[in-house]
Structure 1
Amino acid sequence: MADATETTQGPWLIVGLGNPGPQYAGNRHNVGFMVVDLLAERLGGSFRAHKSRAQVCEGRLGIPGSAAGAPRVVLAKPMTYMNLSGGPTGALASWLKVSTGRIVVIHDELDIDYGVLRLKRGGGDNGHNGLKSLTSTLGRDYHRVRFGVGRPPGRMDVAAFVLKDFSSAERKELDYFVDRAADAVEALVTQGLERAQSAFNG
């Protein structure tokens, strides 16, 4: 039986941003997918197709052995391209009856060094097409787990940079950073934004 918070506000909706298809799987732009894939592993669940044009996985996040008090979450990967992420996310939020304040979006961030995390609520899109689409659908009041990928080297085009796979040097630490981002999401939904920011904004 859902607790009172879930009854009035619905579960948490945790959205990883990326592009669908194996050719994009290792791209910097797909780090949101990587984090929700790891969270699904932690839940012991698997993604399935949903009518909202997203893949979803449901369960409870929290300390192992304390599932009864752990918050219910729906993990989602929009199956449109990045710049249309708002449509599936908005449809899923409406179907779940969750408020924008209970949505967490995980995405790549150019203006943060590789592997560094920044958690926040609200703000601009900073030229990120996925966030632009989400904000046009949801408004700005959703939570964000910003995963730093750094700036492109030299004069490389930004779009080319984020649509390339992480470098071999970056991949040596990628699993650790993805794991830390998943920990940050768990902290956000179980302990609140301020405590999560204190622990993970570095």
Structure 2
Amino acid sequence: MIAPRLIVGLGNPGSEYADTRHNLGFWFVDRLADELKTQLAPQGKFFGWIARDGQRWLLKPTTFMNRSGQAVVAVARFYRIAPEEILVVHDELDLPPGGIRLKQGGGNGGHNGLKDIQAHLGTPDFWRLRLGIGHPGDRNEVINYVLKAPRKEELQEIDRALDRCLLAWPRMAGGDFAAAQQSLHTKIV
């Protein structure tokens, strides 16, 4: 079992994006930092806000979404973190609000943050924690959709999903991704 050493929350910097669907990765990393009682601080050489928890690093890139790989590779190279030791947390159009999927590798589904990370790392073999935001129904509306705040009922589902991810965090932190997947992928009624 390989435990994650770098947890990256994807989002866009700036207060105008803080509450948008595209920033779910930031929301998770902020909650995880609170849970771990660690503080994120700006680090220019890593192009982001970073916190340390033992031998593990939390990162919120300050580059825009489509340049996320720059921050990820800066931290990964500096601390000699292999792609399979990286967990990227991001919004997912192909899951309903509150949906969660944890997986390693695979395609990027058109997600610009994932696309850039894959290009910078030279591999897709990092872990992803995919947090559902739903789809607007029309692909021409995707950009507007992800850059808007979730509706109240969607936000409730997303909050519950973030809580479930934090409950599964000890399993992920220990490298037991199979147990984490089992708990996260099981629909709670």
> Given the two structures, how large is their TM-score scaled by the length of structure 2?
0.90
Unaligned runs of 5+ in 2: none
Task: Report deviation, 1:165.
Answer: 0.4
Unaligned runs of 5+ in 1: 61-71
Q: 1:109 to 1:190 in 2, by over 3 A?
A: same
How do residues 114-193 of structure 1 correspond to structure 2 at under 5 angstroms? 114-138=97-121, 139-153=123-137, 157-193=141-177
Mark the structure with the bigger radius of gyration.
1
Task: Report deviation, 1:172.
Answer: 2.9
Distance 1:167 1:156 in 2: 19
Does residue 54 of the first structure (1) align with residue 48 of the second (2)? Answer: yes
Moved more, 152-161 or 117-126: 152-161
Task: Report deviation, 1:171.
Answer: 2.3
Are the aligned partners of 1:10 and 1:97 in contact in 2 as well (CA < 8 Å)?
no
Distance 2:87 2:100 in 1: 14
Give the letter for the 1:146 counterpart: R
Moved more, 167-176 or 16-25: 167-176
Task: Report deviation, 1:22.
Answer: 0.7
The one-character-per-residue Cα deviations of 1:138-174 (angstroms, maximum 9, x if unpaired) are 1111000000111114676101111100112222343
Structure 1's consecutive aligned runs of 4 or more residues displaced over 6 angstroms after TM superposition are none
Are the aligned partners of 1:10 and 1:96 in contact in 2 as well (CA < 8 Å)?
no
Are the aligned partners of 1:36 and 1:182 in contact in 2 as well (CA < 8 Å)?
no
Q: RMSD value over aligned CA atoms? A: 2.0
Distance 1:126 1:10 in 2: 25
Task: Report deviation, 1:11.
Answer: 6.6
